[in-house]
Amino acid sequence: MRTLADRLAEMRAQRGGLVPPRHAPAAGNRAEGLARWFAARLQVAPDGAAVVVERRVALPPSTVASLADLAPACYFDTETTGLSTGAGTVVFLAGLGHLDGDQLVVRQLLLPDYPHEAALLRLAAGELAAMPRVVTYNGRGFDLPLLITRLTVHRLFREMASLPEVHDDLLPVARRLYRRPLGGARLADVEFGVLGVIRNSDCPGSEVPSRYFGYLRGGSPDLLTDVLDHNLQDIVSLALLEAEIVRMRAGGWRDAPVLDRHGMAVELLRHGASEEALQVAEAAMLPGVDQDRAHSLRRMAARLLLGAGQVERAEELWTAATRRASTDAAAAWLEVARIRERHRGDLRGALEAAATASRVLDLAFALGRGGGILELGRIRLRVEARLRRLRRWVAAAERRTARAQRVA
């Protein structure tokens, strides 16, 4: 009878390539060795130890100035053993930065081996809890859920509850401001295109897990040198990016060479700066902006103007877009109709605008301009619906007037 070991051996042989297991040296040595390699402190707790690499990076004065008015923050980024947020992905490096004068103090907590994880997690949670705010890049989708997963695995619920309530994830902001002009909004895109950061001896993110596995399986700690540098740069870039975003909101958008104006207007609106948003939107509606974007900007600007009671300016904004017979012009006439009906109470004027929209649409169709058949159909339906409704209302209003006159 064949033993299980034989069968396993056969399976291995079939798969080909037999990798002999490499057993790592003992734990104490490992943690100390790692700390020595990076000339770092070893923080020892009852349930494990973490290597704490502390570095200080001087920030440009403009960056320090921009960040001065914000609530103190922890700039947070992790390196992990995989990209899934499932229960088996481990945070092996937690980078945490905070501002100290004109310097960014970055503490990197490095995991000597899996059994030390609880200690590292408690340290990281402690650092985060010391600040009212945490700033990340895609932390909402990845770093924080993963940290919470790890805390749950170790049942560290008190630490979980102490995490800061305010979390500013810069990824969605960067997407709004830079994705279009840069063709992407990975942190590396923004660093290169906006922050002027150039990474030299860096290791690509995709290589990070295998570097750590290599170290764990007995490789040199030097495998991690690039990973630590990579993480450090991520955290410095976080601070630089947040400062840049603050500068943009404070009017920097006027002379920014790389910026999506439409996204900037949205960003300002989200921040409650509607007057500024309107300025961005109006400034952005230059000739040459592609039609979709212009329409969307105009809609935003008009909404802002109407909100501020500036009905006339809003209507002008739309009439300015009706010069050339196209589906967009028809859509603009439709907006004019809507403004006249809702904001001016001018039903006749609205009917006139809607009828114009209908004529413009016929003309656009005849000239073969603008949009596919589907888009034409869609807007045709909207135009006809509004036209019908307005006709009905105008007729009703006229009947009422006539009746009133008879009574009089």
Partner 1 sequence: MLTDRPTTATDAIEALLADSALQPLVAAHRVLEPRPPRHAPWPDGLDPRLMDALRSRGVEALYTHQAQALEAIRARRNVCVVTPTASGKTLCYNLPVLDAVARDPAARALYLFPTKALAADQLVELRALAEAAELDLKTHTYDGDTPPNVRSVVRAAGQVVITNPDMLHAAILPHHTKWFKLFENLQFVVIDELHTYRGLFGSHVANVIRRLRRITNHYGADPIFICASATIANPRDLAERILEAPVELVDDNGAPSGRRHILVINPPVANEQLGIRGSALLTGQRVAERLISGGVQTIAFAKSRTSVEVLTTYLRETFAPPPGHPHTIRGYRGGYLPNERKEIERGLRDGRVRGVVATNALELGIDIGGLDAAISIGYPGTIASTWQQMGRAGRRTSTSLSALICSSAPIDQFLAAHPEYLFDTSPEHGLINPDNLHVLLNHLRASSFELPVPAAERFGIDETPSLLDVLEEDGYLRRADDDRYYWSHENFPASSFSLRSGAPENVVIVDTTGDRNRVLGEVDLFAAPLLVHEKAIYIHEGVQYHVDRLDWDERKAFVTRTDVDYYTDADLGITLKVLEVFEEADRLPAGLRQRGEVMVAWKVTMFKKIKYHTHENVGWGSIAIPEQEMHTTACWLVLPAEVVNRYDRDTLDGALIGLSRVARTTGSLLLMCDPRDLGVLAQVQAPFTGRPTLYLYDAVPGGVGLTERLFTLTDQLIRACREAVDSCPCTDGCPACVGPAIEVGPRGKATVSELLAALS
Phi-psi label, residue 252: left if phi above 0, alpha if psi -120 to 50, beta otherwise: alpha
Strand order in the sheet with 48-58: 41-45, 48-58, 103-110, 91-100, 73-80, 133-136, 166-169
Q: Return the closest-CA partner of residue 110 out of 86, 91, 135.
A: 91
Residues 214-253 that bind partner 1 (CB under 8 A): 216-217
Residue 302: CB atoms within 10 A of its CB come to 25
Positions of E strands within 22-101: 41-45, 48-58, 73-80, 91-100
Q: Which positions from 136 through 175 interact with partner 1, judged by CB under 8 A? A: 148-149, 152-153
At closest approach, how far in Å is the CB of 151 from partner 1? 8
Select 13 or 58, whichever has its Cβ closest to partner 1. 13
Helix (H) / strand (E) element for 2: namely: none
CA nearest 94: which of 118, 120, 73, 56? 120
Least distance to partner 1 from the beta carbon of 56, Å?
A: 33
Q: Is 322 in the site for partner 1 (CB under 8 A)?
A: no
> Taking CB under 8 A as the rule, does residue 4 contact partner 1?
yes
Instruction: Decide if residue 62 touches partner 1 (CB under 8 A).
Output: no
Instruction: Extract the tokens encoding 374.
Output: 């589907």
Report the site for partner 1 in 173-212 (rule: CB under 8 A): 209-210
Are 223 and 92 contacting, i.e. CB atoms less than 8 angstroms apart? Answer: no
Residue 31 or 353: the one with the smaller Cβ distance to partner 1 is 31
Of 49 and 304, the one with the shorter C-beta distance to partner 1 is 49
Q: Can you name the residues that pair with 50 across neighbouring β-strands?
A: 43
Distance from C-alpha of 112 to C-alpha of 117, rounded to nearest angstrom: 9
Are 234 and 55 a contacting pair, CB within 8 Å? no
Amino acid identity of 174?
A: A
Q: Is 26 in the site for partner 1 (CB under 8 A)?
A: yes
Q: 80: which strand partners? A: 91
Which of 44, 57, 105, 113 contacts partner 1 by CB under 8 A?
Answer: 113
User: How far apart are CB 374 and partner 1 at their closest, in Å?
Assistant: 22
Q: Shortest Cβ distance from residue 34 to partner 1 (Å)?
A: 13
State the nearest-atom distance from the C-beta of 204 to partner 1, in Å. Answer: 13
The site that binds partner 1 (CB under 8 A) totals a number of residues, namely 40
Nearest distance from C-beta of residue 205 to partner 1, angstroms: 12
Query: Is the CB of 71 or the CB of 83 nearer to partner 1?
Result: 83
List binders of partner 1 among 67-106 (CB under 8 A). Answer: 81-88, 90
> Rounded distance, CA 276 to CA 282, Å?
10
Q: Is 8 in the site for partner 1 (CB under 8 A)?
A: yes
Instruction: Summarize as ranges the residues that interact with partner 1 (CB under 8 A).
Output: 1-2, 4-5, 7-8, 10-12, 15, 18-21, 23-24, 26-27, 30, 81-88, 90, 113-115, 148-149, 152-153, 209-210, 213, 216-217
